[in-house]
Structure 1
Amino acid sequence: MGEGRSCLLPLLALLLAAVPGAVASEPWRHKALTEMFMSGLETFHSSGVKPPHFQEALHHLALTNKIDSEYLSDLSQKDIMVYIIDNTPTLTAKQICSVLLQDLNCPENDPPYEWTVDIDLGQKPQYVPPSDPAEVELLTVLHITDTHHDPKYSPGSIATCGAPACCRIDQGQAPDEASAAGYWGDYRKCDIPWYGVVSMLTNAVTYNPCNQSVDYVYFTGDVIDHGVWETSKERNNESFQLFYPTLKQAFDDAPVFPAVGNHDAHPQNQYAPDDVTDEAVSTKWLYETMANLWQTWLPAEIVPTVTKGGYYTTLVRPGLRIISLNNNVCYKYNWWIHYKPADPYGQLKWLAETLLAAEAAGEKVHILGHIPSGDSNCYSTWSREYNRIVDRFEYTIAAVFNGHTHRDRFQLHYASDDPSRASIVAYNGGSLVTYYDVNPNYKVYKVDGNTGAVVDYTTWMFNLTEANLDPDNEPNWYKLYSFQEAYGVESMNLTELNKLVHRMAETPEIIQQYYGYSVKEGDPSLESGCDADCERSQLCTIVTSYFRDTTKCDELTANMPVKAEVPNK
């Protein structure tokens, strides 16, 4: 390989690091690969190397890193990287690394990566302590997220293949029972079969835990499987055309309010700005598909913002509004951050304007989005600006609903004008997929129809080990817990939730309980347990809505007692 082409190696090394399972994920390796990129990017800019040489460099890297090139030979992200580099002459390695390594304290303070949303947010209303109304009209809201069904899932196939996703029919049969994929799924890096999605929907409809009809369904993204090396626009669209009409069939009378996930794009994670019209790299195909499918439930008014950037707002009922964000634009593996870092699609400014209008109209708001704002993989400037906006509208935002982590959790925001006061709560729906070491679940919220506040919720699941022992019968879906019952709270208002996290800091047994629920009592996760560092991490994840602000985390963990005993179940 010539001198000019050799500069592609560090660039591709970075791309490989971003493909789940392609290379080791240890921080030291990620940092080393990124440093390789830092030393080579400027050379690449001036080398004149043409895009076709990516393939040659790619296979060279696959050999030198002992990576099976089968899973990387269609790494279509290379086309996006070429486009971004060709069209962003001021891009530097330092800027790219400042985003990729932001959780390793590599901040970028130079324009255009340091920006603010330019809007007058007005005066924040005076604080009024939360109170629970004597009488409420309860709504039933079903939350589904991260289904990740795999069209190629095959029981008996190998579950230990070493690829980003296993248990697939074209990977061959397992040599023994221990490495074989189960009928209903597998705790290892495998997605779920389509009939697993059908089982969940059938259970949620037929055996409704509250014996009441579902009023609304929230879906917070990720239809597509983890077979990232062979996704395509056509293949993804086949999954969408199966999933969304099935939702309609299951919940004929209940509207579904969706959000897009990072895996829903092709290539995964890549959400191009709306001024990128080159069909080879544009995301317009996805937005047009979603606008068409989502109009099954949503009014035509959502089309302009969905086709612009995959986000929308709609009034669910008088006094309750939904805002569905495409916050995948903040995912640090979305390379388009480096093409246009500041507020992609003007979405955050639109969010602030929509909240201002909702506040003036006396509406309460539920925000849907795939990635939790406190996730350290969310581009820090975007996360900071999002938090600044929602902090201003804490009295308008009744709750936030997320997915992405495959963990059943909740997260508290704390008020900027009084850091001791919890101001907003976000609920994570967990996942239907078992990827990895978790059981499948869905959640049912009881929501105050007047205030939009969540009064209680229940998590419903089945145990994968038990289900796979009886493949001829439907899994035994059961209630894992009710939030109020499990944590002994009389209310789920913000004051009570804040008291709960302080009890967690003082009582490790509650954190152990929380950990078990978060992994939905996945057998491998319970077996590995949650040590003292894990306990601190569980608590800090709850109280961190912007990963650079660890104030509440530091406060609560400063005097945490020793680790509690890990529960058997």
Structure 2
Amino acid sequence: MILSRVITLGAIAATGAAFSQDYKADANEAFNELVPSNNQTAIDQLIHELREVSINDSRCQACLNRLEVGKKWAQENPGVIPVAWPQWCVRYKAGSPDSCTRNFARTTVERNAEGSNFVDMLTLIDPHGYDGQLYCQYLEEDSCPKPPTPNSSLSHLWPPKQPKHHVAPEPGNETFNVLHISDFHVELDYTVGAESNCSATMCCTPHSQGKGGGGYLYKGHWNSFYKDAHYENEFTYVKGAYYNVFQNSSISAPAPTFGHYHCDAPEILVNSSINSVVDYGKKHNLSFEFAMFTGDLIDHDEQAWMNFDKSLASEEAGFRDLKSRLGDMPVYSTLGNHDSYPYGEIAQEGHGFSNKYTWNNDLMAEMWKDYGWINETTSQFVRTHYTGFAVDTKVGLRIVSLNSNCYYRKNHYAFWNATDPDGFGMWSFLISELVDAESKGQRVWIMTHIPPIVDGLPLPSKIFYEIIERFSPYTIAGVFFGHTHLDQFNILYAGNNTKTIENVINHAWISQAVTPWFNNNPSWRWYEIDKETFSVMNAYNYYAKLNETFDNEGKEPEWLFEYSCRDGYGIDWPKTSPLNGTYWHLVSEKIRDSVEYRQIYENYATRFSPYVPDCSQNGKCLSDYCTLSSFQVDDYDNCVSQLHT
């Protein structure tokens, strides 16, 4: 256990925050609704049916056939599916034993499998329609081609755009500051001295196994092994005694004190990052009006090692650490795809499955309210709306926080009735907030976790795009994401996505991560915001060279200024103009046309980590332009496909 957590808990206890509800009991009751069958005849029958419909057909048709079989069983005898489907998967080599269990076995509070969600999905899915095609494309390894995106719209929910709505308000002469932190992925079982050169997705844990070969790769070089390092009162760093990790011959690359590039963030690195924010503010006499946290508190460990207790503890630890160090600063947050149990899942209201996720809504509502980040009215809304909410800040800006799991392509519940442009009701909520703000001449920021082109589904990305197009540039002053761990941006274009400066609509900021996983330096940023328009005038990025903590005898990371977005790309841009979509269009054109600028972008994206790609190599970094100049899934896919023609 990391001692900083003990100190932090004491600091939080002094604020009166206490979470007494037994969330685990609520979740356990919901997950136990699906009772696994022990009827061997039925189990054998389903395995036989899955086998029969999977032979003598194309991969696509076989996938659709299985969904049809699954739907019948889900409606008539659902308890057979999480027993029989993993057995069929292993027996006929449809996946590895681990993936078969992960994807199809029954969910419990002890096992983060997705079989219960799979059964829920089968209950309502249209196997041979758009639903099935979409599922087989994204969750069955491209078994079916990506189906054409429905030509749906929610334009009936907003009034016509008036002439004044086509013009962005002009900035004034005063600014304030906003902090943006994202993707902690706190690894609560990070173990100093554990294997960092492992064969699994996540290293540096007690169960990490080496890739083989043995031997001490870094003996005589790495020396930062301080198992008891922690932060004490006033958040002062205490290194503790040296821990001799080179006693275990099976470890080839022992995990250092503050983290490793193949591992998520130990809590001491999370605390160091937040400390660096506060220390920077004190040193430069700079304060932040509020902070944004754009999701992902839970680590990337394999689902076999994840359970409900660890998920809940990670969420509590991340927000507790923010509160303990940032004090009274409001923190407006959104949840990421990892901030759910089971991973990536959330169910629509009104279909009988949402009770599996109310524990997370309740936890966030209670925690955010007790920390003083939202009021009671907003807290009640969080409880009933997928942890999404809207808040009017003290400075007059409205922030709308959305749960991007509603359009996440690994969320099983997003695959039924997938032609509905607003199955979760999230877009109508967003639109209502934007219509209200527009009528009052109020500016809005939208924050969520997943950029649609990275892991979103096509139709929701189209609807999201249309909403931003309608309410830009007059009302929407900023869009903010996390998730990729990279310092990036997305530009929205009008005119059938013709990427010219005249067609720029808006852009989105994608924040870098605190976690170093995978191969990035930890980082955070702050924005200089115009007081009148809430437009971003500049963004300042800070990072730590994690590799320099491997052999510094346990000293804290040094957090350094990396670059300012206004100066970092050498764009000739008026000092009085915000860093809007037009500015980032000019940046993207340089990245498109120049190896030199692609390299600059990659340096910033990974924060000069030792693993920055070399863009001078043939074909390297060419797809960066597609990432930066696309917002809809279809546009991004088309852009990438053109690179290969």
Please report the TM-score for the alignment, with normalisation by the length of structure 2: 0.75
2:526 to 441, 444, 455: 444
Look up the SS of the partner of 2:131 in the other structure. Answer: helix
Deviation at 1:216, TM superposition (A): 1.1
How big is the alpha-carbon RMSD for the aligned residues of Structure 1 and Structure 2?
A: 3.4
Return the letter of the residue paired with 2:145. C
Return the letter of the residue paired with 1:345. F
Corresponding position of 2:593:
506
Look up the SS of the partner of 1:101 in the other structure. Answer: helix
Deviation at 1:94, TM superposition (A): 6.2
Corresponding position of 2:626:
540
Confirm or deny that 1:301 pairs with 2:377.
Answer: yes
1:151 to 166, 181, 188: 188
1:217 to 287, 291, 311: 291
Look up the SS of the partner of 2:377 in the other structure. Answer: helix
Corresponding position of 1:495:
582
Corresponding position of 1:360:
439
1:43 to 57, 69, 81: 69
Q: Is the 8 A contact 1:100 1:333 kept in 2?
A: no
Corresponding position of 1:206:
279
Using the alignment, how far apart are the partners of 2:340 and 2:63 within structure 1?
25
Deviation string 1:91-131 (CA, Å, 9 cap, x unpaired) is 44862342452697934469xx7643363322223376668
Deviation string 1:150-196 (CA, Å, 9 cap, x unpaired) is 111112212344333221123368944444233322222x2111101
Q: Is the 8 A contact 2:47 2:88 kept in 1?
A: no
2:323 to 248, 254, 268: 248
Corresponding position of 1:88:
124
Deviation at 1:8, TM superposition (A): 5.6
Corresponding position of 2:397:
320
Deviation string 1:262-305 (CA, Å, 9 cap, x unpaired) is 100111110111235558x7211111111111112112222343
Confirm or deny that 1:236 pairs with 2:262.
Answer: no
Return the letter of the residue paired with 2:463. E
**Alpha carbons of structure 1 residues 210 and 322: separation in structure 2 relative to 1, 3 Å:** farther
Corresponding position of 2:608:
521
Using the alignment, how far apart are the partners of 2:644 and 2:410 within structure 1?
33
Confirm or deny that 1:415 pairs with 2:415.
Answer: no
Look up the SS of the partner of 2:292 in the other structure. Answer: strand
1:393 to 447, 451, 471: 471
Corresponding position of 2:12:
none
Deviation at 1:432, TM superposition (A): 0.8
Q: Which entry has the higher C-alpha Rg, 1 or 2?
A: 2
**Alpha carbons of structure 1 residues 35 and 198: separation in structure 2 relative to 1, 3 Å:** farther
Deviation at 1:451, TM superposition (A): 0.9
2:540 to 458, 472, 489: 458
Q: Is the 8 A contact 2:519 2:611 kept in 1?
A: yes
Look up the SS of the partner of 1:313 in the other structure. Answer: strand
Confirm or deny that 1:381 pairs with 2:459.
Answer: yes
Moved more, 303-312 or 547-556: 547-556
Q: Is the 8 A contact 1:224 1:263 kept in 2?
A: yes
Q: Is the 8 A contact 1:4 1:49 kept in 2?
A: no
Look up the SS of the partner of 1:261 in the other structure. Answer: coil
1:2 to 28, 44, 53: 44
Look up the SS of the partner of 1:401 in the other structure. Answer: strand
Moved more, 304-313 or 325-334: 304-313
Using the alignment, how far apart are the partners of 1:149 and 1:346 within structure 2?
31
Deviation string 1:57-88 (CA, Å, 9 cap, x unpaired) is 53674585555589847353101111222x31
Using the alignment, how far apart are the partners of 1:149 and 1:10 within structure 2?
45
**Alpha carbons of structure 1 residues 291 and 534: separation in structure 2 relative to 1, 3 Å:** farther
Gaps of 5+ in 1: 14-31, 560-569
Using the alignment, how far apart are the partners of 1:535 and 1:151 within structure 2?
34
1:117 to 123, 133, 154: 154
Q: Is the 8 A contact 2:485 2:513 kept in 1?
A: yes
Deviation string 1:391-419 (CA, Å, 9 cap, x unpaired) is 00002111111001111111111235995
Q: Is the 8 A contact 2:497 2:635 kept in 1?
A: no
Using the alignment, how far apart are the partners of 2:90 and 2:257 within structure 1?
33
**Alpha carbons of structure 1 residues 152 and 9: separation in structure 2 relative to 1, 3 Å:** farther
Please report the TM-score for the alignment, with normalisation by the length of structure 1: 0.84
Look up the SS of the partner of 2:533 in the other structure. Answer: coil
* Number of equivalenced pairs: 532
Return the letter of the residue paired with 1:58. P
Corresponding position of 1:54:
82
Q: Is the 8 A contact 1:463 1:476 kept in 2?
A: yes
1:310 to 383, 387, 407: 387
Return the letter of the residue paired with 1:137. E
Deviation string 1:3-26 (CA, Å, 9 cap, x unpaired) is 522456899x9xxxxxxxxxxxxx
Return the letter of the residue paired with 1:150. E
Using the alignment, how far apart are the partners of 1:163 and 1:10 within structure 2?
34
Deviation at 1:450, TM superposition (A): 1.2
**Alpha carbons of structure 1 residues 471 and 215: separation in structure 2 relative to 1, 3 Å:** farther
Gaps of 5+ in 2: 1-42, 106-110, 218-251
